[in-house]
Chain A
Amino acid sequence: MAVVTTSKKACSVNPLKMSQPIGGSFAFLGLRGAMPLLHGPQGCTSFGLTLFVRHFNEAVPMQTTAMSEVATVLGGHENLEQAILNIYNRLEPEIIGINSTGVTETNGDDVEAFIRLIRQKHPKLEKLPLVYVSTPDFKDAFQDGWGKTVARMIEMLVAPVDTARPRDISRVNVLPGCHLTPGDLDELRTIFEDFGLKPSFLPDVAGSLDGHIPDEFTPTTIGGIGVDEIATMGQVAWTIAIGAQMRRAAEAMQVRTGAPFRLFERLCGLIPNDEFIAFLSQISGRSVPWKYRRQRGQLADAMLDAHFHIGGRKLAIGAEPDLLFDLSSLLHEIGAQVSAAVTTTNSPVLQRVRTEDVLIGDLEDLEELARSRDCDLLMSHSHGRQAASRLNVPFFRVGFPMFDRLGAAHLTMVGYRGTRDLIFDIANLIITDREANHGPTPDTWRSSCGGPQLHPPQLH
């Protein structure tokens, strides 16, 4: 059982964490015709927007209430009203998703009350869903913002159901955590459909951020789950939540609609997928298609082939809790040692990470731990690149943001097939590193050489 500690530093160096409001906006980006709106100064939106654009290489709709210093003193009601009206009049969105920021939370803006007043004053907004979620910057992290926002969407948008009516057993709700990529969601969609199940993904970033080219230019999201479909999510037989961060949302769904849920904390690895596929077979009443029996064999073979390279590696990983838990467990299961684990926020899964200690900290912590514990594989989002080059160890990019490589949206790690490909990618990275940096020389094993070469830490 891992001990979870929090960094005591006053100064966070090379942050791993991103803020909770943009996690919320990210969730809204998985809705069709949506406009995420951050209630705060324009910079809050601009930074988040840039980050999404660099990660996905896509146009990303996101707006701001543009709180100025004066507006902050006076309170944000007027700015929120203007922002909603401007977006409504110019862009005709199907939904506006509002998250608060540090400024408006410090100010104590009562946004729910503002929205009520705005609706009273502008009856034309009657049909426009406005979902508001409180997400101060100075608390929690990206995945918390996502989880809270999805839970709130369910409370606001899913229509109450008549419990006497029979449920549609062919339908399932899927509540994916923010660590799943559009590629992951598409893989899952295929799996569900192969079992004859019709999944509703909430949110569905695969519909909006997979890179497809829309026929028409649209200033809001170009796809994702529609508000109309969300409303009917209560009629399903099962809700499947992926990642512990989605527990809150799954519980909200159960409370609202009575639909039972099953939470899969992991979908990467052999055993987790066995459980998943077995569950789908049960709820669909269908036997497991041959395709998945074969894929299971392929994954087993990938583990056989890769364990030579991954086994014994000392992994340093920095990621948000659910991603950290899933990936580090996978590598542990192929024989790697999880030597350094740093994360952004608290979560019940952290204690179960297969390592001694998990630190809620930053990438400087990860770099130091990786150096002192002699790690030889580093995993984090793209911001780990500087640490990786100083440590001179193979670096595998995972999670958000990934701004210095292409195809972040399609990195797939769920299912047998996703796990198989991920294992190959990691093993190949290790092989490349060995060939490039660790070829034997006549002096490699000469004792006067002083053992393995240590790269001196570079300060600047």
Chain B
Amino acid sequence: MTSLPTTIQDVFNEPGCARNASKSNVERKNGCTKQLKPGGVAGGCAFDGAKVALQPFTDVAHLVHGPIACEGNSWDNRGSASSGSDLWRRSFTTDMSETDIVFGGEKRLYRAVKEITEKYDPQAIFVYQTCVPAMIGDDIDAVCKAASAKLGKPIIPINAPGFVGSKNLGNKLAGEALLEHVIGTGEPDYTTAYDINIIGEYNLSGELWQVKPLLDELGIRILSCISGDGKYREVAYSHRAKAAMMVCSKAMINVARKMRQRYGIPFFEGSFYGIEDSSDSLRQIARMLIERGAPAELMERTQALIAREETKAWAAIERFKPRFAAKRVVLITGGVKSWSMVSALQEAGLEIVGTSVKKSTKKDKERIKELMGQHAHMIEDMSPREIYKMLKDAKADIMLSGGKSQFVALKAAMPWLDINQERCHAYMGYIGIVKLMEEIEKALYNPIWDQLRQAAPWDEFDRMRQARTFAQMYAQAADPVRDASKNGVNTISLSNKNEASGGESAIAAHGLNLAKPCTNSTARCVACKDIRSDLQPPALQAAE
């Protein structure tokens, strides 16, 4: 068993990561997470990352050892789907009190594990360490070891207290816990030449099930998915797979690499987002399985399936071309899930006018230029204010991003679609990409946008009136006699804000001021007519 700091250093020194390999020794030692900037951070902590990575294991009780904040403020917040147990959606926490902080929380933790075992009898319990018990020195490894022995059940310590680093580090620490305590501790009933692992896939919105039927059709078995719709037993015997696919950027690269090192399971980095990537991934899986002893005919069947699915998908996308003609997209996301998703969007006629490159490598940026041309707008690190302005100025027709920038787009009356983990639609494989197009179409052509971009009718009215008031004031300034008569102009508030809070009296004053001259002077009646025409709704217009 290694200490947490050693594990963290080890995780940072990931040889499987291309970016890491290009760093100097000093840089590598600093780790791959940026130094956190107090007052300017938006991300989750290491505990968050660990929980995100492991919580999709469905038949495990996930017990959070800490004060209420860590679990009470965050549970049941992920859209992973389960085909069986719903135990993973229940929340377990030691809810540490002041007394526990003073006397130590280990006893409470042990009792909690015991209670869960008695009441829910789960396949395993994952115990998550958090900051406060880490500070006071609660040894969760020791408690888990003792509890395992006593209760005869795997009790797994997940040592990733929030303050050790970022969410991404937490993902990796979760992976380390699996490597140390779970993987290789069980045996499957049988193995086949077609067994694969999928690593770093969380089955959000059930999207893995958009691809699984294809694997089933090819006779390929997902021996273990880490961790979407996963079961404890499946991870325990995942070391018997013949090949592995690593999904979702590099969140669990350490698991894939160490499983190759320890058990000789080859892996590739792939994605099921977009048509070409889906096909590539299926081919890669087939190729690797054949290399590991599966019959060569698997490739023929795979190619035939790919051809069939691609034809179907491209035919389905054809429909969107006239709808997407000349529509411009901005992509703001932590790292584009897949370039083939982008190319599918382009194929359907969408123009990508900008993309964020905050987390992109140099290679990624070259790829962007290749895909979107030299003029593609690369957004390094745009503040929400700038994004808002860009959208407000209508430099794009739709924004695709993660949930964080959602309201920036929506409040600018700009169509928006969630393409990150919080989304509620599944976009995987050949079906998913068509679903994505459908959602984009729905967002673009929703009738709300024209209505919302129209100003309220009285806005224009107010502007005209203001201009008139100014004109009057200037006239009075030039005519001191009238100025002295004080005809009520002074009571008019010029700002909309004051008017709203000032309430009825201000409005009444306006009404009086407008109505009075109308009866007396024919000359003013012209103005009245103007005002009436001001009240006509302006023609349908685009954003200002």
Give residues in A with beta carbon < 8 Å to B: 9-15, 17-19, 21-22, 37, 40-51, 53-54, 57-59, 63-69, 71-72, 79-80, 82-87, 90, 101-103, 106-107, 136-139, 141, 193, 213-214, 217, 219, 364, 383, 386, 403, 458-460
Which B-chain residue is minimally distant from A403 (CB atoms)? B77
In the assembled complex, the Cα of A50 lies from the Cα of B73 at a distance in Å of: 9
With contacts A59-B411, A82-B38 known, is A12 near B93, CB below 8 A? yes
In the assembled complex, the Cα of A106 lies from the Cα of B133 at a distance in Å of: 10
Give 1 or 0 for each of B404-439: 1 = CB within 8 Å of chain A CB.
Answer: 001110010000000000000000000000000000
- Counting CB contacts under 8 A, is B90 at the interface? yes
In the assembled complex, the Cα of A386 lies from the Cα of B166 at a distance in Å of: 30
Contact between chains at B68 and A137 (CB < 8 Å)? yes
Please, could you name 8 A-B residue pairs with CB atoms under 8 Å apart, sorted by A? Answer: A11-B111, A47-B70, A49-B42, A50-B77, A63-B41, A69-B163, A106-B136, A217-B385
Which A-chain residue is minimally distant from B411 (CB atoms)? A213
CB-CB under 8 A from B164, the residues of chain A are 68-69
Which of B41, B63, B100, B503 makes the CB contact (< 8 A) with A193? Answer: B503
- Counting CB contacts under 8 A, is B94 at the interface? yes
In the assembled complex, the Cα of A219 lies from the Cα of B405 at a distance in Å of: 12
For residue A233, give the distance in angstroms from its CB to the closest CB of chain B: 17
Give residues in B with beta carbon < 8 Å to A: 36-48, 59, 63, 66-77, 84-87, 89-98, 100-101, 108-109, 111-116, 119-122, 131-132, 134-136, 161-166, 383-385, 388-389, 403, 406-408, 411, 503
In the assembled complex, the Cα of A68 lies from the Cα of B74 at a distance in Å of: 20
CB-CB under 8 A from B73, the residues of chain A are 18-19, 22, 47-48, 51
In the assembled complex, the Cα of A43 lies from the Cα of B129 at a distance in Å of: 13
Could you count the A-B residue pairs with CB atoms below 8 Å apart for me: how many are there? 215
CB-CB under 8 A from B45, the residues of chain A are 41-44, 46
Which A-chain residue is minimally distant from B88 (CB atoms)? A460
CB-CB under 8 A from A40, the residues of chain B are 131
In the assembled complex, the Cα of A80 lies from the Cα of B411 at a distance in Å of: 32
Contact between chains at B94 and A12 (CB < 8 Å)? yes
Contact between chains at A64 and B41 (CB < 8 Å)? yes
Contact between chains at A65 and B90 (CB < 8 Å)? no
Which of B95, B111, B122 makes the CB contact (< 8 A) with A15? Answer: B95
Which of B70, B75, B98, B384 makes the CB contact (< 8 A) with A43? Answer: B70
Which A-chain residue is minimally distant from B386 (CB atoms)? A217
Contact between chains at B388 and A10 (CB < 8 Å)? no
Contact between chains at B69 and A21 (CB < 8 Å)? yes
Given contacts A44-B69, A48-B69, 5 further A-B contacts (CB under 8 A): A12-B93, A43-B48, A59-B406, A136-B98, A460-B59
With contacts A19-B69, A59-B408, A460-B120 known, is A46 near B132, CB below 8 A? no
Contact between chains at A47 and B100 (CB < 8 Å)? no
Contact between chains at B408 and A217 (CB < 8 Å)? yes
Which of B40, B76, B116, B403 makes the CB contact (< 8 A) with A11? Answer: B116
Contact between chains at B101 and A106 (CB < 8 Å)? yes
Contact between chains at A102 and B131 (CB < 8 Å)? yes
Which of A43, A63, A107, A458 makes the CB contact (< 8 A) with B162? Answer: A43
For residue B277, give the distance in angstroms from its CB to the closest CB of chain A: 29
For residue B67, give the distance in angstroms from its CB to the closest CB of chain A: 4
CB-CB under 8 A from A83, the residues of chain B are 38-39
In the assembled complex, the Cα of A85 lies from the Cα of B38 at a distance in Å of: 9
With contacts A14-B90, A17-B72, A18-B73 known, is A66 near B37, CB below 8 A? yes
Which of A9, A17, A82 makes the CB contact (< 8 A) with B37? Answer: A82
Contact between chains at B85 and A101 (CB < 8 Å)? no
With contacts A21-B69, A460-B86 known, is A86 near B37, CB below 8 A? yes
CB-CB under 8 A from A69, the residues of chain B are 134, 161, 163-164
Which A-chain residue is minimally distant from B161 (CB atoms)? A69
